[in-house]
Amino acid sequence: PFLQRSRLLEEYLVYLHILALRASEGKPRVFRDAIRNQKLKRLLTIAARLPFWKERIRSELFDTEESSSQLRSLPITTKSDLRNAPLEQRTNQDIAAKYGILNFTSGSTGEPLQFFIDKRLKVRQWALLSRVGGLHRFSQQALIHLWPTPNSNPLFSGHFFSAKTTEELWHRRLEIYKLISQPNSILHSSPSLLRLLLGFSKQDSVVLRPHKVITSSEELTLEMRLFFQEQFQCKVANYYGSRELSVMAGQCKFGRFHENSEDVIFEVVSEQGLPLNTGEVGRLIATGLNSYVAPFIRYYLGDYGFFYEDFCPCGNPLPAFNFEGRTHDVTPILLPDGSHIFPYALTGIFNRKFKKIRQYQINHYEPHAFMVYIIPTEKYSRDDELELLADFKQVTKNSHVSLRYAESISSNGSKVLPYIKSF
């Protein structure tokens, strides 16, 4: 009964947040700017007390009305900057002791990062997920997460299924079917896993009819969206998020991403860090206005994008942007024994050694052959190399694996990718 009451209270709080977000959309932009400035002032005040951010923010005072302009005077922060600083120097220890959850990035840029997230943000993140999904009501029990890797983010509370391989998904498919058949079910997944799930359901002659499908993690093309809507017979929503800052923007029917202006500040800058004009493509950086436990301020996400000049035809008043290069190949990898894995199964090997590997890249240049490039840290040893090779060969069922050390790793397109399929 206590857990049930707690769940009902959380869902009521989500409902209040949804109402507040809907009301915010109906207000003039100056209303949302005022909210951002208030949040930003508090964020910078808290961050300035931490050793890592004190070096960057100095002791400047941030007036509420001038916070946004002063924000742009701060240096851009990269994953490397954060990784080179001890975790405790960029973490608010008081908040982390009470509400912190240790998490790490998925390695989509080849540079996994460890950090804390705030479990108190669960309600807010559910509300933001509801916003991008066009939901007026929310139920944790109706939420089904189908994801490539485990994720400790409180957004993923509910029914969580980790499927790093097609075999894992196959073994749990009946349980997933049953949950999807419940009224008002919300299926939250990556497009590649949805494709596999639909393939399995056809083999089993099972019809899947969720109330809503929400995707993220990978690109959702217009063709894919229409395909999923036809197969699931429901609306399909898509959002832009990250493990560090969670749900940051939702994609409208015209393919544009509308930022959650009350919770994040996006900027587009040149390679030199200079602000670019609306419509110009550059590095997309973000400031998470709720990231008090582990601040992410002017944080380079590893993506390139641009903001639209015109008002979006969908009618959403929130600023709209889009991307130029942001995804990597997520096609299942066929192994010598006939089984399949996803690229995440390979990147996970390196993510576990984030203190010893600064960056990596896996070149899948032949069906059963891989070339691995590594930029090691000073903590990397010969034993780590042997362990990596052994783990890699075990996961890939004794495929041919070569390992090389590099001083830099070339990008594929606009973003350094951890996994490249080139055959």
CB atoms within 10 A of CB 184: 14
Measured CA distances, 184 to 121, 154, 158, 344 (Å): 23, 21, 14, 30
Tell me the pLDDT tens digit for each residue of 354-397.
678 878 889 999 999 999 999 888 889 999 999 999 999 999 99
Q: 330, 278, 269, 329: which is closest to 304 by C-alpha?
A: 269
Q: Which tokens sit at 299?
A: 């944080």
- pTM of the shown model: 0.80
- What are the φ and ψ backbone dihedral angles of 182, each rounded to 5 degrees? -70, 150
CA distance 144 to 236: 14
Are 256 and 222 a contacting pair, CB within 8 Å?
A: no
CA distance 94 to 294: 11
CA distance 164 to 167: 8
Q: Is 356 helix (H, G, I), strand (E, B) or coil?
A: coil
Are 204 and 226 a contacting pair, CB within 8 Å?
A: no
Query: What residues does 412 pair with on adjacent strands?
Result: 415
CA distance 287 to 285: 7
**C-alpha angle 91/76/86, rounded to 5°?**
30
Are 123 and 13 a contacting pair, CB within 8 Å?
A: yes
Tell me the pLDDT tens digit for each residue of 226-278.
999 999 999 999 999 998 999 999 999 999 999 999 999 999 999 899 999 99
Measured CA distances, 300 to 41, 108, 271, 360, 397 (Å): 20, 13, 11, 18, 36
pLDDT of residue 196: 85
Q: 143, 127, 125: which is closest to 135 by C-alpha?
A: 127
Write out the H or E segment, with its range, that includes residue 104: strand 100-104
CA distance 240 to 219: 9
Q: Which tokens sit at 26?
A: 């109906």
Write out the H or E segment, with its range, that includes residue 188: strand 186-189
Q: Which residues of the chain have pLDDT under 70?
A: 2-3, 58-69, 106-111, 325-331, 354, 410-416
Query: What residues does 116 pair with on adjacent strands?
Result: 102
CA distance 207 to 231: 9
CB atoms within 10 A of CB 358: 19
pLDDT of residue 105: 79
Q: Which tokens sit at 127?
A: 């509300």
Q: 84, 61, 77, 96: which is closest to 292 by C-alpha?
A: 96
Residue 288 is classified by DSSP as E
Residue partners of 65: CB distance under 8 A and separation at least 6? 37
pLDDT of residue 2: 64
Task: Label residue 275 exposed, middle or buried (CB < 10 Å: 0-12, 13-18, 19+).
Answer: exposed
pLDDT of residue 423: 75
Are 287 and 229 a contacting pair, CB within 8 Å?
A: no
pLDDT of residue 357: 85
Q: Backbone dihedral region of 397: left (phi > 0), alpha (psi from -120 to 50 degrees) or beta?
A: left
CB atoms within 10 A of CB 177: 16
